[in-house]
Structure 1
Amino acid sequence: MYWKPLVPALLAGSVHAGSLRFSCSQLVVERLDPLVNPGLLQTPHVHQIIGGNSFNASMDPGIAPAEASTCTTCTFSEDFSNYWTAVLYFRARNGTFKRVPQKPNVGFEQANGGMTVYYTPTIKNGALKKGEVTAFKKGFRMIVGDPSYRTKTEAAKFRQLTYTCLENMNTRTGETVDFPAKPCKVGIMVNVRFPTCWDGENLDSPDHMAHVAYPSSSTFENNAPCPASHPVKIPQLFFEIIFDTTKFNDKSLWPEDGSQPFVWSFGDKTGYGNHGDYVFGWKDDSLQKAMDANCNVNCPQLNTQSIATGNQCAQKQKVKEDVDSWLTELPGGMPVQ
C-alpha cells in the first residue's frame, strides 16, 4: 500500500459540503471479524458492527450483502454494507474494565449508538464531473490502520486516524493521533478515514490494504492525483464514532499517575492502533448514483428509512459473551500494552 506520513495540517476535521453523510445504528457488539479472522467464532478482540444483518464470521465475496441481508441499520435503505471498529473500555484503578457506550452524532440523536458514515467525492473548483469518482464494486473490502501499532511513528503510516476531545458536540478541531490526555467534556470522537485511490483491478488483497492507496502528493481534500499504481479515484470513506466517556471524567477514578484510563478492546492504551474495516454492500449502482449527484446528507437518488427503523435491525451475538459488565479482563483475555 502506498503510505505517506501523516501531515499535521490534516488533523483539523475537514468534510466537503458534498459529503453523503448518514447514521448507522449498532447492529451487534461481539468478537467477529470476517476479514482478519474469516470463519472464526470469537476472534481476539471485540468489535462494534453496523450495517446489513447478513454480517457473519464468514462473508463470501461472491455473495452480495444486499442480496443476503433482510435489513440494515443505516439511514439509506440501499446500504447493506458492514462497517466495524474496535470498542473502547475504561480501566479503573482496581484493574477492572467497563465498556464505554457510543452515543449518536449531532442530527442523528435517535440512533442506537453506532457511527456516522461519510462518502465524499473529490470536488474540483466546486464542481464534480459525472463519473469522476468510481464507487466501490460488489465484493470490495478494505481495512485501514493496524491494531499492533503502539508508537506515533507507526501511526503516521496511516493518514487521519485520529481522536477529537469533544468540548461540545460540534467540536471538530484539535485532533490527535493518540488518546486525549485529559477528561473530555462530552466524549471522545474517533475519526477513521480510508485511502481514496484504487488499483482498478483487485477488490481485495491479502492484507486488505494493498489494493488501495493515498494520493501521491498533497491530500484528498486538495484533489491531489492518485499514484500511477492506483489510478482510480474512489470516495473517501470516513467514520465518526462518539464514545460517551463522560461518566468516567472524575479524575479520582483515573490511574494514580494521572495517565489517561481508556484502552481499546485489543489492549491498546496509546490509541495508535486505531483501525477500521469495511465490506461494501450497496444495492446495484445506488452508491454511484449518489456520488454522481454529489449528494449532501439528503439524497433524492436514494431511499431513506427512519432512524427508528434502522434501530430495529439488530443481531444477537453468534457466541453469547458478556462485554458490558465490569470485567476482570478484556474479552478474549487481551493484555493491555
Structure 2
Amino acid sequence: MRFSPVASLGLLAQSTHALLRFSCSQLVVERLDPLVNPGSDQSPHLHQIIGGNAFNISMDPNISPSDTATCTTCTFAEDFSNYWTAVMFFKAKNGTFKRVPIKGNVNFEQASGGMTVYYTPTIANGPPKEKITAFKKGFRMIIGNPTYRTEAQAKQFRQLTYTCLKDPMTRSGETLTFPKTACAAGIMVNVRFPTCWDGVNLDSPDHMSHVAYPSSGTFETNGPCPSTHPVKVPQLFYEVVWDTAKFNNKADWPTDGSQPFVWSFGDQTGYGNHGDYVFGWKGDALQKAMDTNCNINCPQLKSQTIAAGNQCQQQQKVTENIDGWLTELPGGMMVTPMKKERAFSA
C-alpha cells in the first residue's frame, strides 16, 4: 500500500503561511511512558524521547514541563515539550536483536540523533483564513496504536508512514508498512498528528478522542474540521531517520527474504507505528509563532545551537541493557506476526 507523498520541503515552505521545522536531539532511550503507563517505573516497551529534561515517570498536566525543565534538546529554546516514539530494532537471522540508532535529518546532521519536528498551521498561500489555535498548557495526545497489525487498522490514522531513503532528500514513496527492500540512506518514519481539536479537553482517556483528522481529505488538502472537533490546531509532524544502512547486508536478513526490522513493541509489520506528545512550550511562544509569518526560522522565538541541544541529556531512570546484541527485546516483548484482515472489525 503506497500513500501519496507529502509535499517536498521546498514546496511546503513556499505554500505555508508559517512553518516551524527544527531539530531536537536525543534526550534519553528508556522504558518510560507517562501517558500510557503513568507511575510505572518501566513501561512495557522501549521509547526514544526528545525535548525538555522534565520528562519523568509521571507528568502532572497541571504543571508545565517549561516550569520544571532546566534544558531542552530542541533548537527552539522555549520548547520544553516532550516527543517520543518506539524504538526500531534489527532482528538478525539467528534471532538476536540490535537497536537501530537514529541520525540527524537534512540540515541537522550535527544533532545527536533525535527527530525533526514540524508545526504547520495551514497549507495555503497567504495568511490563514481562520485562526490557528496553538496547543495549551496541559495538552497531550497520542496517535497510532501499537497493537495494530493489519492495513485496515493502520489506515484509520491516514498519515503514519515510512519512507525508504534512496538518499537523504528522498520524500516520495511513503508506505504504511516497513520497506521491503534495503534502503541506502536509512528509513524515515513519518508521524503526522490530527489537526482538529474539540476545543475543551486537553486530554482524553485514550489520549486521542479529543483530537481528530479533517472530516474529509487531509491537512495537506485543506480538509475541513468535523463539527465535533471544530478548532484548528497546527499539524504536529515528526520525521525520524533510522540509520538502517548498516544492516543492509542481505546475508544477515531472514532466509525467506522478508524485511528484518521490528518495533520495540514486537511489531514486524510496521502497522503499529505511533507517536506521543506532551505540550511544554513556554508561555505563548508557540501561539506567537503560529500568528507570525515564520518560515522555518523564527526570529520571534529564542533559539539555541544544535551543539547546545546535544548537551541536554537524561540518564535512564531504571538502567537496563539496550545496546549490544540482545536475545530478546527490552521488557521481553514478543514479536507478533501480521494478522489476517478479516480479524479486524471497525
Q: TM-score range by the shorter chain?
A: over 0.9
Query: Partner letter of residue 268 of structure 1?
Result: D
Moved more, 235-244 or 287-296: 287-296
Checking the alignment, whether the CA contact within 8 Å between 1:13 and 1:175 is kept in structure 2 is no
SS in 2 for 1:157: helix
Task: Give how far 1:89 is off.
Answer: 0.3
- For the residues of structure 2 that align with 1:99 and 1:93, how far apart are their CA atoms? 15
- For the residues of structure 2 that align with 1:187 and 1:111, how far apart are their CA atoms? 16
- For the residues of structure 2 that align with 1:216 and 1:100, how far apart are their CA atoms? 36
Residues 12 and 182 of structure 1: CA distance in aligned 2, closer, same or farther (over 3 Å): same
- For the residues of structure 2 that align with 1:129 and 1:253, how far apart are their CA atoms? 50
Checking the alignment, whether the CA contact within 8 Å between 1:263 and 1:270 is kept in structure 2 is yes
Task: Give how far 1:123 is off.
Answer: 3.7
The residue that corresponds to 1:207 in the other structure is 206
The residue that corresponds to 2:171 in the other structure is 172
Task: Give how far 1:9 is off.
Answer: 5.3
Given the alignment of the two structures, is residue 57 of structure 1 paired with residue 57 of structure 2, yes or no?
yes
Deviations 1:106-158 (A, max 9, x none): 1011100000000001143x112486100000000000000000010100000
The residue that corresponds to 2:280 in the other structure is 281
Residues 167 and 127 of structure 1: CA distance in aligned 2, closer, same or farther (over 3 Å): same
Query: Partner letter of residue 178 of structure 1?
Result: T
Given the alignment of the two structures, is residue 23 of structure 1 paired with residue 38 of structure 2, yes or no?
no
- For the residues of structure 2 that align with 1:101 and 1:82, how far apart are their CA atoms? 19
The residue that corresponds to 1:114 in the other structure is 114
Give the root-mean-square deviation of aligned CA atoms: 1.3
- For the residues of structure 2 that align with 1:205 and 1:11, how far apart are their CA atoms? 30
Query: Partner letter of residue 217 of structure 1?
Result: S
Q: Percent identity?
A: 72
Query: Partner letter of residue 103 of structure 2?
Result: K
Task: Give how far 1:325 is off.
Answer: 1.3
- For the residues of structure 2 that align with 1:196 and 1:93, how far apart are their CA atoms? 41
Query: Partner letter of residue 87 of structure 2?
Result: V
Residues 120 and 12 of structure 1: CA distance in aligned 2, closer, same or farther (over 3 Å): closer
Task: Give how far 1:159 is off.
Answer: 1.5
Task: Give how far 1:10 is off.
Answer: 3.6
Residues 130 and 55 of structure 1: CA distance in aligned 2, closer, same or farther (over 3 Å): farther
The residue that corresponds to 1:306 in the other structure is 305
Given the alignment of the two structures, is residue 47 of structure 1 paired with residue 32 of structure 2, yes or no?
no
Checking the alignment, whether the CA contact within 8 Å between 1:203 and 1:211 is kept in structure 2 is yes
- For the residues of structure 1 that align with 2:177 and 2:8, how far apart are their CA atoms? 19
Moved more, 15-24 or 63-72: 15-24
Query: Partner letter of residue 286 of structure 2?
Result: L
Task: Give how far 1:221 is off.
Answer: 1.4
Checking the alignment, whether the CA contact within 8 Å between 1:150 and 1:271 is kept in structure 2 is yes
Task: Give how far 1:222 is off.
Answer: 2.1
Q: TM-score, normalised by structure 2?
A: 0.93
Checking the alignment, whether the CA contact within 8 Å between 1:11 and 1:162 is kept in structure 2 is no
- For the residues of structure 2 that align with 1:11 and 1:150, how far apart are their CA atoms? 22
Moved more, 269-278 or 292-301: 292-301
Given the alignment of the two structures, is residue 196 of structure 1 paired with residue 207 of structure 2, yes or no?
no
- For the residues of structure 2 that align with 1:193 and 1:295, how far apart are their CA atoms? 20
- For the residues of structure 2 that align with 1:280 and 1:161, how far apart are their CA atoms? 20
Alignment of 1:76-115 (within 5 A): 76-115=76-115
Task: Give how far 1:100 is off.
Answer: 0.3
- For the residues of structure 2 that align with 1:131 and 1:218, how far apart are their CA atoms? 18
Task: Give how far 1:11 is off.
Answer: 3.8
The residue that corresponds to 1:150 in the other structure is 149
Query: Partner letter of residue 94 of structure 2?
Result: N
- For the residues of structure 2 that align with 1:9 and 1:183, how far apart are their CA atoms? 19
Deviations 1:142-180 (A, max 9, x none): 000000000101000001100000000000000000000
- For the residues of structure 2 that align with 1:314 and 1:94, how far apart are their CA atoms? 34
* Unpaired stretches in structure 2, ≥5 consecutive residues: 337-346
Checking the alignment, whether the CA contact within 8 Å between 1:49 and 1:82 is kept in structure 2 is yes
Checking the alignment, whether the CA contact within 8 Å between 1:130 and 1:292 is kept in structure 2 is no
SS in 1 for 2:33: coil
Deviations 1:15-57 (A, max 9, x none): 5313200000000000000000001011100000000000001
SS in 1 for 2:153: helix
Checking the alignment, whether the CA contact within 8 Å between 1:34 and 1:59 is kept in structure 2 is yes
- For the residues of structure 2 that align with 1:228 and 1:144, how far apart are their CA atoms? 20
